[in-house]
Amino acid sequence: MESHEGVHRHPAPTGFIRKYIFSLDHKVIGIQYIILALVAVLVGMAMSLLMRMNLSWPGTSWPILETFFPTGAPGGQMTPEFYLSLVTMHGTIMVFFVLTTAPQGGFGNYFLPIQIGAEDMAFPVLNMMSFWVTLLGFIVILLAIFVEGNQGIGEWFAGLGPSFAGGSGTVGPIGGWTGYAPLSALGKIAGPGQGGGMNLWVISIAIFCVGSLLGALNFITTLLNMRTKGMSLMRMPLTCWAWFTTAVLALLSFPVLLGGGVLLLLDRIANTSFFIPGGLYVSGLLSGTNPNFPLHTGGSPILWQHLFWFFGHPEVYIAILPGMGATSHILATFARKPVFGYRAMVFAIFAIGLLGFFVWGHHMFMSGMSPYSAIAFSVLTLSIGVPSAVKTFNWLGTLWGGRIRFTVAMLFALGFVSLFVAGGITGLILGQSSLDLPMHDTYLVTAHFHLVMGVASIFGMFAALYFWFPKMFGRFMSESLGRIHFWITFIGVYAIFVPMHIMGIVGMPRRFSSFTEYEYLRTLDPLVMLVTVAAILTIGAQLLFYFNVIWSIFKGKKVESDNPWEATTLEWTTATPPPHDNFAGVLPTVYHGPYEFAVPGAPRDYVMQTDMETEVPSGNGHDGHKH
Amino acid sequence: MATMVTSTRPTTKQGTGPGTPQPNGNGSKRRDAFREPDSAGNRYRIGMWVALASIAMMFTSLSSAYIVRSGTANDWIPLAMPRILLASTALILLSSVTLEFARRSLRRSLQSEYAKYLLRTAVLGAGFLVSQVIAWRQLAAQGIYVSSHPHSSFFYLLTGAHAVHLLGGLLALTFLWFRSRRKASEPVAAARRQGAADAVTIYWHFMDGLWIYLFLLLFLWR
């Protein structure tokens, strides 16, 4: 491509720092995001382990807790407030720094430019900033735990202003990942976990919003402007469609959270009353009667819920859509068949994204909303079942009659489909306001969202990593370790979350630190123990996964060809690992749709997108031009 | 019964063959534009529109909060409009006009005109910010602060958020002005310069419109 020469905007860096730390290369930035997620998920996982331990063995002493949180866990025993701060931080870290970073910032960053045949992202400097801003957000959220939870660190932060004073010195911030007002808006007066650490929690989320927005801007511009010759929209891999839709969702939903976060922070530090109603009586004090609790009037706590969930619902699709894209991609590759209904898949992704903006109210059925609004939100929510079913049936259609290769990546993609269905099905229950009311504060909700947006998304990432690892590092991950990892994890997550459905239906409330006081829940004790044991085993299997990643980078089986999975898309046409500008100066030209497997009359059972010689009859897959 | 032939459609459709791929994946409206020297310019313009969508969403969220809060509150004390805001409005409207002159001068390759109008725009923009600061100080002198009552909270918040965005635009203008003194004769550099100027102009006009919107929201909505 003649005009390409000399156009690449940044030459390959040579120094270590420019190459691996402050890199402009989307591939390095992608790996940085993945490392961030791998670190964050360890923190989140450790927190869930502590919660399970406390639920199954209440009152057990963990000396290490006392070391870091001398008053939050006196004698190493977890206080209920400490448990609540674990709930808060587990949710926040997992949703923002794991489920939002790795699928989009990680794999999307690495593979979107390569899959559309671009030499980098549209704005490499913004791309680099988006990672570093996100990392800053992560550091601030970790600080939030210690500012609130450790007296010594908290006192140091008190220098920033009275509202930053080190909180209760007992626990980390408390508020759930949703940070509901008015308690989250009042400051230290509202009780343990509401002091300076909560300020940092809000600030961290705001920083994260900015980082995500920079990323989304880049993804959208890159995809619209930098596709190579022949890469029409309907020739893009479904992964790119998923990343694109995710970026649009992030672009339009994160600013709303940012706006809400600014309002919340002003309530906390500037004494405004956006979310704080009048006549509030908290911690034995009436608003306006104490210098620590000045007068507030007229604010609306429900307003925060609206702003939060207007972001919060698209956020769950931000977490799962990339997994859907990776699953479609991997299922087709290892079933050796074109994706069934490519166009329908594209429209389903878009429909899910679009509908995702109109259903936030289903998180608020408990807020006392008008039953008419609740019906509207219910109907819209249930209608998401239609595009979701389109995707599920098309995945099954892709598998139908395929010559399936059961690689580990394929196993995880199949696991994704299974978990998406199993977790999504309870969405049909919770999406109806009348059924949601009794179920909302029970473990049924915990089970539902963990299966569908938590674990399913994680399976999408596992599938993606096992699949693309050979391209990223030139070595395979160990398939035998991978199989063990898959089966323990797959059975493990079902053993964790299926019993939670039963607990929920029995009426076990979520967010409680222990159930020893509740006679009617005694019968559930064996299930609680089963969940805990399953959680410990599943988390153990993840250590195997970490070992596999690190071991395979250095000692894994070397990749002999640039296309070891016999796949069709552009990332498999370039060198392994791809050079700095992805295609060594010559951008590829695309002649076919992304999933031309099993083409009649073709020399092999797959036709790569760049294959100029082979003719593909337009009925084969979905080369979207002639239908 | 013999099967009747009801369709003559071939079971395998006609292959289209590789064909000749069109630029930008056939997806661009301007099929001749891809990877021509101005693709960097296109990138700036597209990126700017995308960024504006996100900025618009943030102000939408804040104004929805404003509408809800003002509609449900019984503690609303309307703020008297500081007169100087009319001067702000005039300044920013004028700055949009001068920036449009700058952009068009660049289109016609009039480099010195371009630099001149950029500078005028930056001065007008700075004037707007000064005028906003005066408005804040006037209110503060009357004892009206962020926490005084909901209307004042929203006033400081919305004008402050707008001012921060405009300050970013001012920095971009300054950057363009410094760059304008360098030669950009190569087509790639010229296209890039044009793209950057277009993107900043789009942003500035948007900030102008946003100010009008906020002004009306704050003082006419309720």
The answer to which of A166-175, A438-447, A571-580 has the lowest mean pLDDT is A166-175
Long-range contacts of B137-145 (CB under 8 A, 24+ apart): B138/B82, B138/B84, B139/B79, B139/B82, B144/B79
Instruction: Count Cβ atoms within 10 A of the Cβ of residue B25 and give its class: 0-12 exposed, 13-18 middle, 19 or more buried.
Output: buried
Any chain B CB within 8 A of the CB of A373?
no
Any chain B CB within 8 A of the CB of A279?
no
Please state, for a pLDDT cut of 70, what percent of chain A lies above it: 96
Q: Report angle CA A101, A140, A142 to the nearest 5 degrees.
A: 85
Report if residue A14 sits inside a domain. Answer: no
- The pLDDT of A68-92, averaged and rounded, is 88
Taking phi over 0 as left and psi of -120 to 50 as alpha, with beta for the rest, A6 belongs to: left
pLDDT higher than threshold 60 for residue B2: no
The alpha helices in A366-407, defined as continuous H runs, are 371-383, 385-399
Residue A597 DSSP label? E
Whether A450 and A547 map to the same domain: the answer is: yes
Residue A614: its pLDDT value, please? Answer: 86
Residue B18: its pLDDT value, please? Answer: 44
The answer to whether the Cβ–Cβ distance between B54 and A625 falls below 8 Å is: no
Any chain A CB within 8 A of the CB of B29?
no
**Domain ranges in chain B?**
83-222
A218 interaction partners in chain B (CB closer than 8 Å): 47
Would you place residue A10 in the very low, low, confident or very high pLDDT band (cuts 50, 70, 90)? low
* Chosen CATH of B83-222 out of 1.20.120.80, 3.40.190.10, 2.40.30.160, 3.30.450.40: 1.20.120.80
Any chain A CB within 8 A of the CB of B21?
yes
Report if residue A308 sits inside a domain. Answer: no
Residue A616: its pLDDT value, please? Answer: 83
The answer to whether the Cβ–Cβ distance between A591 and B19 falls below 8 Å is: yes
Chain A contacts in chain B segment 101-140 (CB below 8 A): none
- CA atoms of A56 and A499, how far apart (whole Å): 14
> Could you write out the DSSP letters of every residue in A167-179?
TTSSSS--STTTT
Nearest to A531 by CA among A558, A493, A481, A562: A493
Instruction: Count Cβ atoms within 10 A of the Cβ of residue A101 and give its class: 0-12 exposed, 13-18 middle, 19 or more buried.
Output: buried
Q: How many residues does chain A have?
A: 627
pLDDT higher than threshold 60 for residue A624: no
Residue A490 sits in a domain whose CATH number is 1.20.210.10
Cα dihedral A143, A148, A153, A157, rounded to 10, equals: 80
Any chain A CB within 8 A of the CB of B15?
yes
Chain B closest CA to A504's CA: distance in Å? 34
Chain B contacts in chain A segment 283-342 (CB below 8 A): 297-300, 303, 306-307, 310
The answer to whether the Cβ–Cβ distance between A303 and B14 falls below 8 Å is: no
- The pLDDT of A496-524, averaged and rounded, is 94
pLDDT higher than threshold 80 for residue A485: yes
Beta strands (DSSP E) in A240-335 are 281-282, 285-286
**Under 8 Å between Cβ of A95 and A317:** no
Please report the sign of the dihedral spanned by the C-alpha atoms of residue A474, residue A478, residue A479, residue A483. negative
The answer to which of A71-80, A558-567, B35-44 has the lowest mean pLDDT is B35-44
Q: Please name the helix (run of DSSP H) or strand (run of DSSP E) that holds residue A596, with its range, or none.
A: strand A596-597
Range of the domain at A593: 560-627
* CA A78 to chain CA centroid, nearest Å: 28
Residue A506: its pLDDT value, please? Answer: 94
- The pLDDT of A171-193, averaged and rounded, is 90
Would you place residue B187 in the very low, low, confident or very high pLDDT band (cuts 50, 70, 90)? confident
- CA atoms of A568 and A612, how far apart (whole Å): 13
The alpha helices in A57-168, defined as continuous H runs, are 63-68, 80-92, 109-115, 124-149, 151-157
**Under 8 Å between Cβ of A590 and A231:** yes
Residue A266's CB: how many other CB atoms inside 10 A?
Answer: 20
- CA atoms of B187 and A47, how far apart (whole Å): 57
- CA atoms of A129 and A131, how far apart (whole Å): 5
- The pLDDT of A96-112, averaged and rounded, is 97
- The pLDDT of A581-607, averaged and rounded, is 91
Whether A535 and A564 map to the same domain: the answer is: no
Residue B170: its pLDDT value, please? Answer: 97
The answer to which of A247-256, A294-303, A314-323, B25-34 has the lowest mean pLDDT is B25-34
Instruction: Count Cβ atoms within 10 A of the Cβ of residue A77 and give its class: 0-12 exposed, 13-18 middle, 19 or more buried.
Output: middle
A615 interaction partners in chain B (CB closer than 8 Å): 15, 17-18
A10 interaction partners in chain B (CB closer than 8 Å): none
Maximum mean pLDDT: which of A6-15, A473-482, B182-191: A473-482
pLDDT tens, position by position, A247-288: 999 999 999 999 999 999 999 999 999 999 999 999 899 998
Chain A contacts in chain B segment 153-192 (CB below 8 A): 153, 157, 161, 188
- CA atoms of A516 and A467, how far apart (whole Å): 45
Any chain B CB within 8 A of the CB of A516?
no
The answer to whether the Cβ–Cβ distance between A256 and B74 falls below 8 Å is: no
- CA atoms of B87 and B110, how far apart (whole Å): 31
Q: Please state whether the predicted TM-score (pTM) of the whole model is above 0.80.
A: yes
| Lookup: tokens for A505 | 């239906």
Whether A346 and A434 map to the same domain: the answer is: yes
The answer to whether the Cβ–Cβ distance between B61 and A310 falls below 8 Å is: yes
B161 interaction partners in chain A (CB closer than 8 Å): 262
Residue A3: its pLDDT value, please? Answer: 38
Residue A67: its pLDDT value, please? Answer: 83
- CA atoms of A367 and A305, how far apart (whole Å): 9
- The pLDDT of A427-441, averaged and rounded, is 94
- CA atoms of B102 and B123, how far apart (whole Å): 13
Residue A102: its pLDDT value, please? Answer: 96
The answer to whether the Cβ–Cβ distance between A217 and B24 falls below 8 Å is: no
Backbone phi, psi, residue B75, to 5°:
-120, 25
Pairing of strands A281-282, A285-286: antiparallel
**Under 8 Å between Cβ of B107 and B194:** yes
Whether A484 and A578 map to the same domain: the answer is: no
B58 interaction partners in chain A (CB closer than 8 Å): 255-256, 258-259
- Which residue among A490, A519, A552 closes a domain? A552
Nearest CA in chain A to B74: A298
Q: Could you report how far apart the first and last alpha carbons of chain B are, in Å? A: 79
Q: Please name the helix (run of DSSP H) or strand (run of DSSP E) that holds residue A606, with its range, or none.
A: strand A606-607
Whether A359 and A235 map to the same domain: the answer is: no
The count of domains in chain A is 3
Any chain A CB within 8 A of the CB of B3?
no
Would you place residue A166 in the very low, low, confident or very high pLDDT band (cuts 50, 70, 90)? low
Residues 6+ apart with CB under 8 A from A462: A412, A485, A486, A489, A545
pLDDT higher than threshold 80 for residue A169: no
Instruction: Choose the mutation target among A3, A218, A219, A221 for the interface with B, i.e. most B CBs under 10 Å.
Output: A221
**Better-scored residue on pLDDT, A292 or A493:** A493
**Under 8 Å between Cβ of A597 and A622:** no
B210 interaction partners in chain A (CB closer than 8 Å): none
Whether A295 and A394 map to the same domain: the answer is: no
Whether A395 and A282 map to the same domain: the answer is: no
Residues 6+ apart with CB under 8 A from A9: A120, A124, B40
Report if residue A319 sits inside a domain. Answer: no
- The pLDDT of A206-223, averaged and rounded, is 97
Residue A484: its pLDDT value, please? Answer: 98
- CA atoms of B33 and A117, how far apart (whole Å): 17
**Under 8 Å between Cβ of A240 and A115:** yes
- The pLDDT of B76-102, averaged and rounded, is 95
The answer to whether the Cβ–Cβ distance between B43 and A221 falls below 8 Å is: yes
- Which residue among A508, A525, A552 closes a domain? A552
Report if residue A3 sits inside a domain. Answer: no
Chain A closest CA to B20's CA: distance in Å? 8
pLDDT higher than threshold 50 for residue B11: no
- CA atoms of A71 and A598, how far apart (whole Å): 64
The answer to whether the Cβ–Cβ distance between A263 and B62 falls below 8 Å is: yes
- CA atoms of A350 and A356, how far apart (whole Å): 10
**Under 8 Å between Cβ of A272 and B153:** yes
Would you place residue B72 in the very low, low, confident or very high pLDDT band (cuts 50, 70, 90)? confident
Q: Report angle CA A468, A474, A477 to the nearest 5 degrees.
A: 60
- The pLDDT of A190-196, averaged and rounded, is 87
On the CB side of A275, how many CA atoms lie within 13 Å of its CA?
A: 29
- The pLDDT of B95-106, averaged and rounded, is 95
Whether A283 and A420 map to the same domain: the answer is: no
What is the number of H-type helices and E-type strands within chain B? 5, 0
- The pLDDT of B22-48, averaged and rounded, is 59
Nearest to A579 by CA among A1, A27, A16: A27
pLDDT higher than threshold 50 for residue B12: no
Mean pLDDT across chain A:
92
Maximum mean pLDDT: which of A17-26, A180-189, A412-421: A412-421
Q: Closest partner residue to B61 among A4, A259, A592, by Cβ?
A: A259
Nearest to B203 by CA among B49, B56, B89: B49
Nearest CA in chain A to B76: A298
**Better-scored residue on pLDDT, B27 or A551:** A551
B150 interaction partners in chain A (CB closer than 8 Å): 272-274, 298-299
- CA atoms of A559 and A584, how far apart (whole Å): 19
- CA atoms of A267 and A264, how far apart (whole Å): 5
